[in-house]
Amino acid sequence: MDKKKKEQAERKQIKAEFSYILASLRHELGYSQERLAAESKLDSKTIGRLETRETGPEVRTILKLAQGLKVSPGFLMDLLAEKINLDELDE
């Protein structure tokens, strides 16, 4: 697989896993997308785009989501790291 295709596959995997993590944590709290958006100071469309894998997480968004979910940004990243194979991700 060439480098560009590998990077696209990695981004797709990260989007998919983050989407699952975000939706799971949101449901555990009993939050709607709108409630999480309000708690995170984000637009509810952003939450929807993340959960449907339309977009991937950016650092700023992760920081805001962590605040809204009442977890640390590191906790979100640890959950993501558990889901993806870090050994397969090249710099």
Residue 68 burial (CB count, 10 A): 20
Reported as a pLDDT band with limits 50, 70 and 90, residue 9 is confident
pLDDT, tens digit (0-9, with 9 covering 90-100), for 12-70: 999 999 999 999 999 999 999 999 999 999 999 999 999 999 999 999 999 999 999 99
| For the chain, domain boundaries | 3-88
What local confidence, expressed as pLDDT, does residue 3 receive?
Answer: 85
Alpha helices in the chain (DSSP H): 3-29, 33-40, 44-51, 59-69, 73-83
Reported as a pLDDT band with limits 50, 70 and 90, residue 1 is low
pTM of the model: 0.88
For domain 3-88, give the CATH number. Answer: 1.10.260.40
Q: Burial code of 31-55, b = ≥16 C-beta within 10 A, e = fewer? A: bebeebbebbebeeebbeebbeeeb
